[in-house]
Chains A and B, each alone.
Chain A
Amino acid sequence: MPAPPTAHSPATLADAFAILAARRAGIRVIAGGTDLMVALNAYALPAAEFLDIWRVGELRGIADEGETLRIGALTTYTDLIKSPLVARHVPALGAAARTVGALQIQNRGTIGGNIVNASPAGDTLPVLAAFDAEVEIGSARGTRRVAFNQFYAGYRQTVLGPDELVLAVRVPKLRDGERADFYKVGTRRAQAISKIVMAARARVAGRRIEAVSIGLGSVAPTVVRAPLTERLLTGQRLTPALADAARELIMREVAPITDLRSTEHYRRAVTGNLLAKFLRGM
């Protein structure tokens, strides 16, 4: 039998960076463990060495930076749900956090883990996509920022280098005159991975849609935006005919698959229905 995996549990970011820089190959970063431990328990995670970042206090906390909220990577779903800053400035993110698993998962799962795990079904990710969030990445070499919408290179692939950690995500605040909503459709309310997950954000003046962004999960290899549908709606007066056209277009624009959670047909139909619901609410 192979030796059980080892783990480092540094308390500072500098120590975490040093460990990553010294051992690039094969080390896996673990935060709240709600995804990785499932794989480990199923013997589906062949890592021999782990970097446990749970104790790195520099990765916690939600800060008001004026136009944006800076949310530390180790912020748990429970932290998001309880945060007055999130409730006030990005309520859709709190709504997304409330749909993750149940309390046991919300108390451990983190927004950084949701981002890095790179599942197309990650519940907070459509919000980050719709809000044009920015991912702050760090290593012993320094820090850099990457647009969330450019963070994924493909199915379950990110642009993170082997020595890098996600430090935080910056989410622009909802502004006056803007509206955002979050929708998740799963088999049941708790403990369900989504069939479809959507976050939409729009600025409307009178009946005219000045700007709109739509983030979608579980309909493509990564969380995606719907640029064709966004373009159709932008600058237009919201009429029932326009809403119907947008609903038809987004059903064609997404690229879902049939898998054990749902079917391609259902996912296209529900994506259209969720957009119609969002537009009706405006």
Chain B
Amino acid sequence: MRVVFEVNGRRREAEAPPMRRLLDVLREDLRLTGTKEGCGEGECGACSVLLDGEVVNACLIPVCQAQGTAVVTVEGLARDSRLDLLQQAFLECGGTQCGICTPGMLIAARALLDANPRPTRDEIKEAIAGNLCRCTGYVKIIDAIAQAAGPSLTGT
């Protein structure tokens, strides 16, 4: 099928079988390899993207369900060579080690801050509960998201 959708603000087209995973269309057909594959079964969140503003696992979306939608991948976070606040905070706080979970973490965190610009630490934990990190122990990731949310953040 001919898939027409918006990716990172640009209209894109791809020719793909309808049940092909959105993840594969992004990575292989559109060469947007920032989105990672971890488990391929919806457990790890490494392939998180925004689909019409909601965080989803791209490994569980058949591309026929992405027809006409707006997708944001990690490549869509930086604007005009300026990092997103979250990306900058991950750098500064050491929120990244091996890096495989980072694109998904950034996307899940973006979804959170878009809906709730001043989250508590508990709300941050809830928002990234579907994103597994096997390096950091999460503390620096949570610190980074809290920092990006702004200095007035208090509470647990």
Question: Assuming the A-B contacts A6-B18, A101-B130, A104-B48, are A38 and B41 also in contact, with contact meaning beta carbons closer than 8 angstroms in the complex?
Answer: yes
A33 CB–B CB distance under 8 Å: yes
Question: Given known contacts A33-B62, A50-B19, what 17 new A-B pairs fall within 8 Å (CB)?
Answer: A7-B1, A7-B62, A7-B64, A30-B62, A33-B61, A37-B21, A37-B42, A38-B60, A42-B41, A50-B18, A102-B130, A102-B131, A103-B129, A104-B56, A104-B108, A105-B57, A107-B54
A9 at the interface (CB under 8 A from B): yes
Given A105-B42, A189-B129, are A41 and B111 also a contact pair (CB < 8 Å)?
A: no
Given A5-B17, A40-B19: A33 touches B65 (CB 8 Å cut-off): yes
- Per the 8 Å Cβ criterion, residues 97-117 of A in contact with B are 101-105, 107-108
- Chain B CB within 8 A of A248 CB: no
A66 located at the interface, meaning its Cβ lies under 8 Å from any Cβ of chain B in the complex: no
Give 28 pairs: A residue, B residue, CB < 8 Å, sorted on A: A5-B17, A7-B1, A7-B18, A7-B62, A7-B64, A9-B18, A33-B61, A34-B60, A37-B21, A38-B41, A41-B41, A50-B18, A50-B62, A52-B64, A52-B65, A54-B65, A102-B45, A102-B129, A102-B130, A103-B130, A104-B56, A104-B60, A105-B42, A107-B54, A108-B57, A108-B61, A189-B129, A190-B129
Minimum CB–CB distance for B152 against chain A, Å? 24
CB of B29 within 8 A of chain A?
no
Candidate in B19, B43, B127, B130 with the most chain A CB atoms within 10 angstroms = B19
Contacts of A37 in B (CB 8 A): 21, 42, 59-62
Q: How far is the CA of A50 from the CA of B64 in the complex (A)?
A: 11
Q: Judge whether A191 is part of the interface by a CB distance below 8 angstroms.
A: yes
Cβ–Cβ contact B56 & A38, under 8 A: no
B34 within 8 A of A: no
Most chain B beta-carbon neighbours within 10 Å: one of A4, A103, A190, A191: A103
Any chain A CB within 8 A of the CB of B8? no
Q: Given the complex, which residues of A lie within 8 Å of B43, measured CB to CB?
A: 191
Q: Measured between alpha carbons, how far is A239 from B24 in the docked complex, in Å?
A: 59
Q: How far is the CA of A54 from the CA of B45 in the complex (A)?
A: 22
Leading 8 A-B pairs by shortest Cβ distance: A102-B130, A190-B129, A7-B18, A4-B17, A102-B129, A37-B60, A38-B41, A104-B130
Tell me the nearest residue of chain A to B40, going by C-beta.
A41
Selected from A5, A32, A41, A103, the residue in CB contact (under 8 A) with B108 is: A103
Q: Which listed residue (B1, B17, B64, B111) contacts A103, Cβ 8 A? A: B111
In Å, the complex CA distance between A102 and B61 comes to: 16
Known: A33-B61, A52-B62, A108-B56. A5 touches B19 (CB 8 A): yes
Chain B positions 40 through 74: 1 when the CB is less than 8 Å from some CB of chain A, otherwise 0: 11110100100000111101111011010000000
In the complex, which residues of chain A have a beta carbon less than 8 angstroms from the beta carbon of B42?
Answer: 34, 37-38, 101, 104-105
Q: Which residue of A lies closest to B112 (CB)?
A: A103
> A residues within 8 A CB of B64?
7, 9, 52
| Contact flag A4-B19 (CB < 8 Å), given A103-B127, A103-B129, A104-B130 | yes
A104 vs B57: C-alpha distance in the bound complex, in angstroms? 6
Question: Which chain B residues border A78 with CB–CB below 8 Å?
Answer: 54
Tell which of A50, A54, A191 has the most Cβ of chain B within 10 Å.
Answer: A191
**Nearest opposing residue in chain A for B17, CB measure:** A4
Task: Give A117 Cβ to nearest chain B Cβ, in Å.
Answer: 13
Mask: chain B, 120-137; 1 = CB below 8 Å from A; 0 = not: 000000110111100000
CA distance A54 to B127 in the complex (A): 24
Question: Please, which residues of chain A bring their CB within 8 A of the CB of B54?
Answer: 78, 107
Q: What's the Cα separation between A78 and B52 when bound, in Å?
A: 14
Per the bound structure, the CA–CA distance linking A34 and B43 in Å amounts to: 10
